């Protein structure tokens, strides 16, 4: 409507529509400028990618504010980072919007300056490291003997216009029950509860170091998952202690709270597979039976995007003692 009004010479109407669109939008440093009703769309007729591309065209033609247009383009790129553009139509529209509107990000040739432990990383001087044409993507690694404490200090400097992102991983060995949780766009919290059936109904109490457990008790696992953006193709793996056995062992597709997923029970873990994970908070629960006594590590819950592996997280590690 805004584009039609503008092209028919009705500047007043088109300006009012653009103003209204701005007022109902959400803007963040991480995800750019978007609309809530459009960001969680997954029905075929809602076409979120084509809609965002058309909005970029409308803002360009009517307002021509480069900062706003660049924020709209950021949402398109961040969406592509964790989701597939499902049709050639969506991809064509998005590429059109990214290339023809706002700042010319492709003309930027300056690399992001990366300084680790006071030493600048220069891809051209690193052995067996190739920089991808167009995007400037590269990766490198250090062995255990090369890693120094000062390398925990990392400075990134973006010189040119546009958007850039990267990831830094530190891999090390640790006992499962000593692992602490990780803060990422995917956040996991795992708790264990002792479940008892009473005259007044089901009673659950959180398991702590003081909780007395015995063989035959029922344990309820509760996993809380938070995602700050829409993601596709996610795998969540929940480990369990060796003395616990699942009540339900049949793998099947499940649906709860607007979320569909496939649950698969294995010997040492329960796996959850999500084709589509909307933004929000989700709680998963299932019961286990204590089959053996002992002092056991209950492991951790891990989650990772199969589409963008840099998006991963894990819960705290815990121990349980069964008399």
Supply the pLDDT for residue 22: 93
Q: What is the mean pLDDT of residues 140-146?
A: 89
pLDDT at residue 134 is higher than 90: no
Residue 42: pLDDT band (50, 70, 90) is low
- Kindly report the average pLDDT of the chain as a whole number: 89
Question: What is the sign of the dihedral through the CA atoms of 107, 88, 39 and 264?
Answer: negative
Q: What is the pLDDT of residues 164-179, one digit of tens each?
A: 888 888 888 888 888 8
Domain's final residue, options 105, 132, 149? 105
171 inside domain: no
204 and 118, same domain (yes or no): no
Shared domain check, 252 and 223:
yes
Please provide the DSSP assignment of 153-173 as one string: -EEEE--SSS-----------
The reply to whether 129 and 70 lie within a common domain is no
Split into its structural domains, the chain has a count of 3
Residue 41 pLDDT exceeds 80 = no
Is 226 strand, coil or helix?
strand
pLDDT, average across residues 181-204? 89
- 4 has pLDDT over 70: yes
> Is the domain of 12 the same as that of 52?
yes
State percent of the chain over pLDDT 70.
98
Give the pLDDT of residue 93.
Answer: 93
CA 285 to CA 221: how far, in whole Å?
5
Please indicate, yes or no, if residue 162 is contained in any of the structural domains. Answer: no
- 75 and 45 in one domain? yes
**pLDDT at 181 (0 to 100):** 85
Tell me which of 202 and 244 has the higher pLDDT. 244
Regarding whether 100 and 18 lie in a shared domain, the answer is yes
**Tokens read off for 262:** 């496939």
Q: 169 in a domain, yes or no?
A: no
In a domain, 50, yes or no: yes
pLDDT of residue 44: 67
**Starting at the edge strand that comes first in sequence, how are the strands of the sheet with 269-277 ordered?**
252-256, 259-265, 269-277, 231-239, 301-305, 312-314
Q: Check whether residue 129 and residue 77 sit in a common domain.
A: no
Q: Is residue 252 part of a domain?
A: yes
User: Are 119 and 218 contained in the same domain?
Assistant: no
Which structural domain, as residue segments, surrounds residue 121? 109-157
Higher model confidence: residue 169 or residue 188?
188
Q: Phi-psi bin for 257: left (phi > 0), alpha (psi -120 to 50), beta?
A: left
Q: How confident is the model at residue 14 (pLDDT cuts 50, 70, 90)?
A: very high
Q: How far, in Å, CA of 92 to CA of 98, rounded?
A: 10
Give the pLDDT score at 168: 86
pTM, entire model: 0.83
Examine the domain organization and report whether 186 and 311 are in the same domain: yes
- What is the per-residue pLDDT across 297-313, written as a single tens digit (0 to 9) for each? 998 999 999 998 889 99
153 and 33 housed in the same domain: no
């Amino acid at each position: 409507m805004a584009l039609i009004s503008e092209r028919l010479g009705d500047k007043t109407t088109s300006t009012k529509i653009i103003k209204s669109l701005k007022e109902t939008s959400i803007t963040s440093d991480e995800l750019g400028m978007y609309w809530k009703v459009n960001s969680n769309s997954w029905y075929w007729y809602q076409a979120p990618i084509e809609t965002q591309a058309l909005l970029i065209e409308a803002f360009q033609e009517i307002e021509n504010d480069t900062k706003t247009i660049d924020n709209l383009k950021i949402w398109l790129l961040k969406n592509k980072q964790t989701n597939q553009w499902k049709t050639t139509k969506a991809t064509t529209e998005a590429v059109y919007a990214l290339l023809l509107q706002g700042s010319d990000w492709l003309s930027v040739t300056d690399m992001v300056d990366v300084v680790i432990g006071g030493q600048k990383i220069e891809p051209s001087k690193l052995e067996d490291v190739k920089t991808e044409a167009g995007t400037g993507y590269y990766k490198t690694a250090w062995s255990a003997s090369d890693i120094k404490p000062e390398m925990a200090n990392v400075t990134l400097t973006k010189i040119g216009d546009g958007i850039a992102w990267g990831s830094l991983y530190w891999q090390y060995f640790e006992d499962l029950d000593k692992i602490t949780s990780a803060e990422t766009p995917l956040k996991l919290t795992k708790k264990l509860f002792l479940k008892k059936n009473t005259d007044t109904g089901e009673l659950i109490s959180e398991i702590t170091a003081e909780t007395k457990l015995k063989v035959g008790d029922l344990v309820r696992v509760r996993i809380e998952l938070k995602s700050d953006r829409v993601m596709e193709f996610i795998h969540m793996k929940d480990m369990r202690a060796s003395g616990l056995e699942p009540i339900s062992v049949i793998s099947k597709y499940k649906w709860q709270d607007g979320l569909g997923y496939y649950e698969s029970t294995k010997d040492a873990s329960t796996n959850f597979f999500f084709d589509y994970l909307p933004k929000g908070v989700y709680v998963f629960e299932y019961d286990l039976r204590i089959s053996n006594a002992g002092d056991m590590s209950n492991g951790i819950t891990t989650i990772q995007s199969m589409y963008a592996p840099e998006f991963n997280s894990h819960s705290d590690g815990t121990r349980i003692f069964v008399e």
